Structure 1
Amino acid sequence: MKQKIKDFALVTIGAFISAVAFNSMFVENHIASGGVGGLAISMNALFGWNTANFVLYANIPLLLLCFFCLGKEVFIKTVYGAWIYPIFIKLTAGLPTLTHNTLLAAIFGGAVLGFGLGLVFIGHSSTGGTGIIVQLFEKYTPIPLGTSMAFVDGIVVGLGFIAFDADTVMYSIIALLSITYVVNLVMAGADSSRNIMIISRHHAKIKEYITKVADRGVTELPMVGGFTGQENRMLMTTVSRLEYQKLETNILAIDETAFIVVMPATQVRGRGFSLQKMHPNLEKDILIPM
Structure 2
Amino acid sequence: MKKKIQELALVTLGALISAIGFNTMFIENNIASGGVGGLAISLNSLFGWDPASFVLIANIPLMVLCFFLLGKSIFLKTVYGAWIYPLFINLTAPLPNLTHNPLLAAIFGGIILGFGLGLVFLGNSSTGGTGILVQILNKYTPIPLGILMALIDGFVVGIGVLAFDFDTVMYSIIALICITYVINLMMAGSDSSRNLMIISQEHQAIKEYITKVADRGVTELPILGGYTGIEKRMLMTTVSRPEYTLIETEILKIDETAFMVVMPASQVKGRGFSLNKHHQFEDDILIPM
Same fold (TM over 0.5): yes
Aligned to 2:104: 104
Q: Deviations over 1:153-207 (max 9, x none)?
A: 1111111111100110111111111111111222233333211122334322211
Show the 5 A alignment for 1:216-255. Answer: 216-223=216-223, 232-255=232-255
Q: Deviations over 1:3-56 (max 9, x none)?
A: 111111110111111011101110010000000100000000011111011111
Structure 1's 136 and 231: CA in aligned 2 closer, same or farther, altered over 3 A?
farther
How many pairs were matched up? 289
TM-score (norm 2): 0.91
Structure 2, unaligned runs of 5 or more: none
Letter in 1 for 2:161: F
Letter in 2 for 1:215: D
Letter in 2 for 1:51: P
Q: Deviations over 1:212-250 (max 9, x none)?
A: 222222223445556666654432212222322332233
Aligned to 1:162: 162
User: Is the counterpart of residue 31 in structure 1 residue 24 in structure 2?
Assistant: no
Aligned to 2:153: 153
Runs of 4+ residues deviating >6 angstroms: none
Give the Cα–Cα distance (whole angstroms) in 2 for the partners of residues 130 and 100 of structure 1.
Answer: 27
Identity of matched residues, %: 72
Give the Cα–Cα distance (whole angstroms) in 2 for the partners of residues 224 and 143 of structure 1.
Answer: 42
Segment drifting more, 71-80 vs 31-40: 71-80
Give the Cα–Cα distance (whole angstroms) in 1 for the partners of residues 256 and 273 of structure 2.
Answer: 29
User: Is the counterpart of residue 288 in structure 1 residue 284 in structure 2?
Assistant: no
Show the 5 A alignment for 1:1-290. Answer: 1-223=1-223, 232-270=232-270, 272-273=272-273, 277=277, 280=280, 282-284=282-284, 286-289=286-289
Taking only aligned residues, the RMSD between alpha carbons, in angstroms, comes to: 2.1
Confirm or deny: 8 A CA contact 2:134 2:152 kept in the other structure. yes
Give the Cα–Cα distance (whole angstroms) in 2 for the partners of residues 257 and 147 of structure 1.
Answer: 44
Segment drifting more, 71-80 vs 139-148: 139-148
Structure 1, unaligned runs of 5 or more: none
Tell me how far 1:260 sits from its aligned partner.
Answer: 2.0
Give the Cα–Cα distance (whole angstroms) in 1 for the partners of residues 132 and 66 of structure 2.
Answer: 6
TM-score (norm 1): 0.91
